[in-house]
Amino acid sequence: MMFYSILGPFFPKEAENKGVSNTVIGMIFGCYALFDLVASLVFGKYLVHIGAKFMFVAGMFVSGGVTILFGVLDQVPEGPMFIAMCFLVRVADAVSFSAAVTASSSVLAKAFPNNVATVMGSLEIFSGLGLVLGPPLGGFLYQSFGYQMPFIFLGCILLLMVPLNMCILPNYESDPGEHSFWKLITLPKVTLIAFVINSLSSCFGFLDPTLSLFVLEKFNLPAGYVGLVFLGLALSYTISSPLFGLLSDKMPHLRKWLLVFGNLITAGCYMLLGPVPVLHIKSQLWLLVLILVINGISTGMSVIPTFPEILGCAYENGFEEGLSTLGLVSGLINAMWSVGAFIGPTLGGFLYEKIGFEWAAAVQGLWALTSGLAMGLFYLLEPSRRKRSKLQNILSTEEERTALLPDEIQP
């Protein structure tokens, strides 16, 4: 997560110096998510065949190597060659990162089946720490030692983690399941939660190629301080995620409303991020940081309940309990996050050029607003839908018993 977050403060400016447009910069950020999407679906489906431990360790090893390679891209000549190498390295890292994340989520859910949300929320502490430490550390290393040092430093840390995890991680064996991603994603509740995940990741991804440029242009901050602006978002997400995880496990009935209201609050945050000109609110640095802090909390509120909600829905609809279903759920969540993380930077870079940061952020907010309202409407209608389904099952059972009755009373 540190490697994922260090690009925001200085890579857009470095790419601009190489003659890359804002739209292409957004595509460089976005292609990561596109290939993460494809890889997540593949790795989720074949997790049991490959082995969760091997998938995690191999993914981490490759990711460490390509992180170091990203650090030597400044030696590549500007123009098409530089752009092509950026895409190539980002794609390789996306595939390896997808393998590690899909495997790790499945292993954790298998190891702690009764506290999935708490464990996922606790894991987000360390994901959040990566997001928190990445921008300021990356900005410091970039200003002090140049472009290469942040990537070499983080790549070496990743490679050092490989032998450690080879020793620590348990091996889990499981039989391949009968169900597919298609059956999972076509469940109405899972489809809507996938839309929620899309909207949240798109909002997050939107900030990568746009926020640093907006802050540099609007407030004239040096690159090192731009990283501190990202700090508010990441820190609030880090602190709030385990709390929402614990709340989700202790009071499962609250999960759905955490999902809904988290989305609605996120929508409001993006309307105020610029702020959108129709509100006639002056853009100020303290307001921007405050909105990012609230956005971090609202994102944690929405993201953490998604895994147990989808997993519970899968079990209710006949999916077998085991590593196979956990792999499908983990891969699906990672894939849906990647869809939004591709659209967010790509569309964000384009809209930033065409209509400016304020209106572009408002467009992102509309996506979160739509998904939040759709999810809320589903949950409001869910009790009546379940009653209707239960009534149909009772009537169907009665009809079967009535049809069998004449046969039963014959001598």
pLDDT at 409 over 60: no
Instruction: Give pLDDT tens digits for 316-327.
Output: 887 777 777 777
Give the mean pLDDT of the chain. Answer: 81
Q: What is the rounded average pLDDT of the residues 375-384? A: 83
- The pLDDT value given to residue 265: 92
pTM listed for this prediction: 0.74
Cβ atoms of 13 and 72 within 8 Å: the answer is: no
Give me the sign of the Cα torsion angle 297, 335, 382, 248. Answer: negative
Is the pLDDT at 61 greater than 90, yes or no? yes
Mean pLDDT is lowest, of 10-24, 68-82, 113-127, 218-232, for 218-232
Whether residue 71 has pLDDT greater than 80: yes
Instruction: Tell me the C-alpha distance between 299 and 303, whole Å.
Output: 6
Q: Which residues contact 90 (CB under 8 A, 6 or more apart)?
A: 28, 29, 31, 32, 35, 70
Residue 84 pLDDT greater than 80, yes or no: yes
For range 346-371, the mean pLDDT:
84
Q: Are 249 and 115 in contact (CB under 8 A)?
A: yes
Segment among 57-71, 292-306, 333-347, 396-410 with least mean pLDDT: 396-410
pLDDT band of 211, cuts 50, 70, 90: confident
